[in-house]
Amino acid sequence: MDDVARHVGLSRTTVSFVINGRMDIQISEKSRQRIWDAVDVLGYRPNTGAQSLASQRTNLIGLITDITSSPFGGGIIHGAQQAAWDLGKLMLIVSSEGDPVVESSALEMLLGRRIEGVIFATQSHRRIELPASASEIPTVLVHCFDDAHAFPSVLPDEIAGGYAGTRRLIEAGHTRIALINLDPGLPATVGRQAGYQSALAEAGITIDPRLLVTGHATATGGFQAAGDLLDLDQPPTAIFCGTDRMAMGAYDAIKERGLRIPADIAVVGYDNQEIIAGFLRPTLTTVALPFDAMGAAAVQMLADVDSPRSQHLIVAGPLIERDSV
Amino acid sequence: MDDVARHVGLSRTTVSFVINGRMDIQISEKSRQRIWDAVDVLGYRPNTGAQSLASQRTNLIGLITDITSSPFGGGIIHGAQQAAWDLGKLMLIVSSEGDPVVESSALEMLLGRRIEGVIFATQSHRRIELPASASEIPTVLVHCFDDAHAFPSVLPDEIAGGYAGTRRLIEAGHTRIALINLDPGLPATVGRQAGYQSALAEAGITIDPRLLVTGHATATGGFQAAGDLLDLDQPPTAIFCGTDRMAMGAYDAIKERGLRIPADIAVVGYDNQEIIAGFLRPTLTTVALPFDAMGAAAVQMLADVDSPRSQHLIVAGPLIERDSV
DNA sequence: TTGTAAGCGTTATCAT
DNA sequence: ATGATAACGCTTACAA
């Protein structure tokens, strides 16, 4: 910066003002131009680290997550990344593998870098143990929550998701709609079932408890659960699966019985794992988890720490319509 | 740091030496201990940015990639992340969406942060246009290459992959082995075919050109290509698919004809997309792309800039054995 | 409209 | 074995 100042015969201060675009300070158009030219000629590139040191603003946001390894919800990284970029901030991403020890030392390292806020994001909707240092800076949880619900969080609207999937099937004329839910007790399980029930209730359809089953979130789980449902004396005409993987298994059970999708039986999945949903035959109608939006929302919340709009944000995922209904 | 020094009644210099664990400087065990205690008591945390400014080492590595949005190869981020962490370095990740303009400004921003090296990584094995500034710092390409092959790169061993998949089928006793390859001209297509042919040649199996077809890298593409193959008067007894998605389609074509996997026909995929390969029924034997290893290797190459072991690294992916052979 | 000078929190070179 | 002191590259009162 000294070189630039010397090159144009002005002070470092003036150069700094011009480079930072401080329009509140009056500087002749001519000086501005000459400075930018010099910057160009000399190939000067401001040292962001030095700027941070002097200005006490690092424009750095930390993201500690267990999702880098998984095909699930890379969207969170993506959404957060984008939002941060738009705000002129950079994300420091550390993959914790879900290990609290790593999470703690990761945060320690990030605090050393003077991040201005941190996001903890998880692959599955679950409880998380936060390192003590988290209380030192603005923290937002994505797809997870702490014991005390003390930290701001961004969560998917499981109820709305359960409702949307069920509603779609009702609209298609189905009345015997089964739900193959995830393992009991999970927030996702509870929420989606509530949505399912409210959609049925709203449509005046009485709930047949035999149509409400649970299974493991795998293709095999879906295969078995769907098989059982189809072998009922009064089988369902539509199946809402807790995950796309389960739907994948359900497809097999259905095809094995010579039934056709969606003519004989409709299927809706959950997760919108494009790789499954988009390539199953027929393609799968499914409820998306709003990963991108959640990541972006988290960054926004950090940016708005001074004027927080809400402490706990619930984001609904859209129903992605394909060919299985 | 001044506070710590004052607290123990020593100079800032001494504190700095102790904190950086400089054993080349003689400092009494007693002083060391007192300093660490003071650090603890005062909750002192060194400012990494200030350290970087003074030491001229940022320990920052940039990663510019188009894969954050995709379920593909999040492994690159993961592997690179891990390797960097082990070296005490942090990754600055920017998602470029594959847009050269974004890539260029991303690099510009990262250079402002004084990264010590940059990695460009892509989702698919392809050519890439590098920003001019890339020549200013150590650069490594992962899963991609520049026109002039001027930059160090880490690439998957497509030939070994083609060989491994084919070899597995030969070992299972197959002699009529079809290859549904990707679109012609891609590096992956060329390499895998070479591997396929060399495995067959090695086993003394003459190559039947009718068994060598190409298709789009989708389930539909695989479905059609597999269908055509199965309708040949002398159909193959094994199919090696260019992607797991294609294998997914091939499964459908096979099942549609009442054939059983692997009893009647064996299938091998490529990519090891766990979400497909692990959950197809039967689970899919497939060649993995070594994303994790490639990401880690790239970081290693940057760390070894002074004593580069090799300019272009080829990493083989393992054959993941499941139940389709 | 521009310049002076005091930080920002470290490291590193010399002395002592 | 420890301490002054000058960088590192920038921002920002305050003066002029």
The model's pLDDT over A154-166, given as tens digits with 9 standing for 90+, comes to 999 999 999 999 9
Contact state of A90 with B90 under an 8 Å Cβ cutoff: no
Question: Is the CB of residue A165 less than 8 Å from the CB of residue A270?
Answer: yes
Residues 61-100 of B with CB under 8 A from A: 67-72, 74-75, 77-78, 81-82, 85, 90-95
* pLDDT in the model for residue B257: 95
**Best-predicted range by mean pLDDT (B10-19, B192-201, B213-222):** B192-201
* pLDDT in the model for residue A70: 66
Q: What six digits make up the tokens of A3? A: 């070189």
Residue A220 belongs to what H/E stretch?
A: helix A219-230
Contact state of A114 with B255 under an 8 Å Cβ cutoff: no
* pLDDT in the model for residue B103: 96
- Tell me the backbone φ, ψ of residue B14, rounded to 5 degrees: -60, -45
Mean pLDDT computed over A100-104: 95
The answer to whether residue A22 neighbours chain B at the CB level (below 8 Å) is no
Residue A306's pLDDT band, with cuts at 50, 70 and 90, is confident
DSSP single-letter state for residue B113: T
What's the gap in Å between the CA of B308 and the closest CA on chain A?
A: 27
What's the gap in Å between the CA of A76 and the closest CA on chain B?
A: 9
Report the distance from CA of residue A22 to the C1' of nucleotide C2 in Å, as an integer.
Answer: 14
pLDDT tens track for B114-132: 999 999 999 889 999 999 9
Asked if residue A2 keeps its beta carbon closer than 7 A to nucleic acid strand C, the reply is: no
Residue B279's pLDDT band, with cuts at 50, 70 and 90, is confident
Residue A278's pLDDT band, with cuts at 50, 70 and 90, is confident
pLDDT tens track for B286-311: 999 999 999 999 999 999 877 777 78
Kindly give the pairing relationship between strand B266-271 and strand B285-288. parallel
Residue B243's pLDDT band, with cuts at 50, 70 and 90, is very high
B58 neighbourhood in chain A, CB within 8 Å: 49
- Give every CB contact of residue B249 below 8 A, 6+ residues apart in sequence: A279, A281, B218, B219, B220, B221, B222, B223, B224, B225, B226
Report the distance from CA of residue A28 to the C1' of nucleotide D12 in Å, as an integer.
Answer: 20
The answer to whether residue A133 neighbours chain B at the CB level (below 8 Å) is no
Amino acid whose CA is nearest the C1' of D5: B13
Mean pLDDT computed over A256-268: 96
Nucleotides of D under 7 A from a protein CB: 1-5, 7-13
Chain A, nearest residue to B108 by Cα: A45
Chain B, nearest residue to A136 by Cα: B43
Exposure class string for B89-122: b at 16+ Cβ within 10 A, else e: bbbbbbbbebeeebbbebbebbbebbbbbbbbbb
Average pLDDT, chain A: 93
Percentage of chain A beyond pLDDT 90 is 81
What's the gap in Å between the CA of A239 and the closest CA on chain B?
A: 19
User: Which nucleotide is closest, CA of B1 to its C1'?
Assistant: C9
Contact state of A276 with B280 under an 8 Å Cβ cutoff: no
Which whole-number Å values give the CA distances from A1 to A25, A35, A50, A238, B268, in the listed order? Answer: 18, 10, 11, 68, 59
Mean pLDDT computed over B218-238: 95
On the question of pLDDT at B74 being above 80, the answer is no
Which whole-number Å values give the CA distances from B167 to B180, B270, B308, in the listed order? Answer: 16, 14, 33
Mean pLDDT computed over A289-297: 94
Average pLDDT, chain B: 93
Question: Is the CB of residue B225 less than 8 Å from the CB of residue B213?
Answer: yes
Report the distance from CA of residue A112 to the C1' of nucleotide D3 in Å, as an integer.
Answer: 26
Residues 111-130 of A with CB under 8 A from B: 111-114
Mean pLDDT computed over A112-116: 96
- Tell me which of B24 and B149 has the higher pLDDT: B149
Exposure class string for A200-216: b at 16+ Cβ within 10 A, else e: beeeebeeeeebbbbbb
Q: How many CB atoms lie within 10 A of CB A150?
A: 14
* pLDDT in the model for residue A73: 60
Rounded to the nearest 10 degrees, the angle between the axes of helix A219-230 and helix A244-256 is: 50
* Nearest Cα residue to B119 out of B58, B189, B64, B47: B64
* Nearest Cα residue to B267 out of B234, B233, B226: B226
Report the distance from CA of residue A11 to the C1' of nucleotide C4 in Å, as an integer.
Answer: 10
Which whole-number Å values give the CA distances from B115 to A45, B58, B90, in the listed order? Answer: 13, 7, 10
Geometric angle at alpha carbon A113, from A73 and B45, rounded to 5°: 125
What's the gap in Å between the CA of A117 and the closest CA on chain B?
A: 16
Q: Which of residues 29-68 of B touch strand D (CB under 7 A)?
A: 31, 50, 53-54, 56
* CA distance linking residue A17 with residue B189, whole number of Å: 54
Residue A305's pLDDT band, with cuts at 50, 70 and 90, is confident
Percentage of chain B beyond pLDDT 90 is 78
Tokens 């298994």 locate to A249
Report the distance from CA of residue A138 to the C1' of nucleotide C3 in Å, as an integer.
Answer: 39
Question: Is the CB of residue A191 less than 8 Å from the CB of residue A182?
Answer: no
Contact state of A81 with B94 under an 8 Å Cβ cutoff: yes
Residue A310's pLDDT band, with cuts at 50, 70 and 90, is confident
Q: What six digits make up the tokens of A12? A: 């470092």
Q: What six digits make up the tokens of B125? A: 């094995």
On the question of pLDDT at B22 being above 90, the answer is no
| Total-model pTM | 0.89
Kindly give the pairing relationship between strand B153-156 and strand B212-214. unpaired
A248 neighbourhood in chain B, CB within 8 Å: 279-280
SS3 call for B237: coil
Mean pLDDT computed over A104-127: 94
pLDDT tens track for A180-237: 999 999 999 999 999 999 999 999 999 999 999 999 998 899 999 999 999 999 999 9
Closest Cβ–Cβ partner in B48, B94, B245 for A112: B48
Residue A97's pLDDT band, with cuts at 50, 70 and 90, is confident
Residue A42's pLDDT band, with cuts at 50, 70 and 90, is very high
Residue B71's pLDDT band, with cuts at 50, 70 and 90, is low
First to last CA, chain A: 63
Contact state of B93 with A93 under an 8 Å Cβ cutoff: yes
- Tell me the backbone φ, ψ of residue A199, rounded to 5 degrees: -65, -45
Cβ-Cβ contacts under 8 Å between A and B: the total is 134
Contact state of A71 with B274 under an 8 Å Cβ cutoff: yes
